[in-house]
Amino acid sequence: MVSTDKAVNPTNVMGASKRLAEIYTQSLNGQESCETRFITTRFGNVLGSNGSVIPRFRSQIKNGGPITVTHPEITRYFMTIPEAVQLVLEAGTMGKGGEIFVFDMGKPIKIVDLAKKMIQLAGLEEGKDIDIVFSGLRPGEKLYEELLSSAELTQPTHHHKISIAKVLEYPYSEANVAISELLVINKHHDNLAVVQKMKQIIPEFLSKNSIYEDLDKTI
């Protein structure tokens, strides 16, 4: 299962849904007489993949701008497609089942610096040929992503770029019941009820800059 750094201390529904997927996948490994190895990988953004920032910036530059960045201080972790694929395959090979593998993403990069670099590589000049506009953080968006929560520890592996996250593990019976209840609630298309249930399952899910922040006061 391919997860994301947004699953750590999630602040939005996307990150919380990934954490739920981690919980369920990890719990599957605890079933009796299960011969399948259920393994999770957790890492940040992949350069050039669908939905990544580079194709968007490239399109904005092609159209004459402006380039939109949410915040001047926002940073993200990045790796290339070949790096991500290789590490996923490595994790699948070394995994015994039930692990959440965390990849070494290096140092985070300022998105505004990436935008400036792409302007330069296009042979243009910022402020003259094309502008950078700050649009504001989106609901639930973090300035800085995390690969591990403060309560988690990591265990090294023989691969210097892969470690194992030591997280709270949920028994399959408990995880299955909780997620089944969530799916039933979801059939009623009540977003507040759905998010409230997600917060009950994931105590560290605290909304940020979101309409769901009031729910955190009731959990």
Q: Largest alpha-carbon pair distance within the chain?
A: 65
Q: What is the pLDDT of residue 18?
A: 96
Q: Which domains does the chain have, with CATH numbers?
A: 5-217 (3.40.50.720)
Distance CA 197, CA 193 (A): 6
Catalytic residue among 6, 18, 197, 199: 6
Q: What is the pLDDT of residue 34?
A: 81
pLDDT in tens, 25-77: 999 998 887 889 999 999 988 887 877 888 899 999 999 989 999 999 999 98
Q: What is the DSSP letter of 126?
A: B
Q: What is the pLDDT of residue 201?
A: 95
Low-confidence ranges of the chain (pLDDT < 70): 148-152, 218-219
Q: What is the pLDDT of residue 122?
A: 92
Q: Report the predicted TM-score, pTM, of the whole model to 2 decimal places.
A: 0.86
Q: What is the pLDDT of residue 152?
A: 60
Distance CA 148, CA 142 (A): 14
Under a CB-based contact definition with an 8 Å cutoff, are residues 79 and 105 in contact? Answer: yes
Distance CA 13, CA 176 (A): 19
Residue 6: active-site member: yes
- How is 66-121 classified by DSSP, letter by letter? PEEES-TT-EE-EE-HHHHHHHHHHHHHH--SS-EEEE---S-EEHHHHHHHHHHH
